[in-house]
Amino acid sequence: MERLQKVLANAGIASRRKCEAYITSGRVEVNGEKVTELGAKVDPSRDEVKVDGRVVKLQGKLYVMLHKPKGVITSVTDPGGRKVVLDYLPGITERVYPVGRLDYDSEGLLLLTNDGELANLLAHPRHHVPKTYHATVKGVPHGSVLEKLQKGVKLEDGMTAPAELEYIDVDPEKQQSVISITIFEGRNRQVRRMFDAVHYPVVRLKRVQFGPLHIAGLARGKYRHLSKDEVQELRSAALATHNVQNEE
């Protein structure tokens, strides 16, 4: 069961605040009965909701994992006409939104959903859901550099939290290394800025894991729906990290 105004907003009727005004002014009916209380809840999968006498097509909760390609905007629209992540969700008519961001030059695992509560839970900086990236960097950072990144480096917006790093591959000919880095924050372009701070710039960045979800098996530019178990694991991961922080 969900709050009526939230269901109406998710269905694209109007903003949450305007939907509240529709309810209190008597413009909304649920199963043939006028509802004017903001506390009213409905089941989107079973209840019939009307606004001004017209049936509203309600959206169920939708959870999608996309393998975002490089050169795609993490947004639902782009005034410049560039490709956005929604261009890679054929067949999905529900309104979904990205959870967090992957910058234009990065690729990998991106979550999209119309579940605002879960999206806020996952994206909120207090919850520290781990995210793992494979960073291809110029040069071969030695152990003390990785140790510095693990402990935290100073950026213009403050020290980073401790991270987890390990070598994956080294290409002596190109003088490049692939390093796995797991961070527990969500700052803008954080991984790139961390490696810039130690003078090993990133030439390719791919997010491979978000909490319990891994991108393995999902081709670039493709998406799949999450299972109920995966959604619950995501929710549990966010709540668990939040509770650990509260205990600290």
Report which residue type is found at 144.
S
Nearest 5°: CA angle at 59, between 53 and 60? Answer: 135
The dihedral formed by the CA atoms of 87, 92, 97 and 102, expressed in degrees to the nearest 10: -40
Q: Hey, what are 225's tokens? A: 């729906």
Closest Cα partner for 30 from 19, 41, 14?
A: 41
The Cα–Cα gap between 118 and 42 comes to: 18
128 touches 225 (CB < 8 A) = no
Q: Which of 47, 103, 105, 196 is catalytic?
A: 103
Q: Confirm whether 87 is a catalytic residue.
A: no
User: Which residues are bridge partners to 192 per DSSP?
Assistant: none
Contact (CB, 8 A) for 53 and 32: no
Q: Torsion angle of alpha carbons 159, 165, 167, 168, nearest 10°?
A: -120
| Catalytic sites, residue numbers | 103
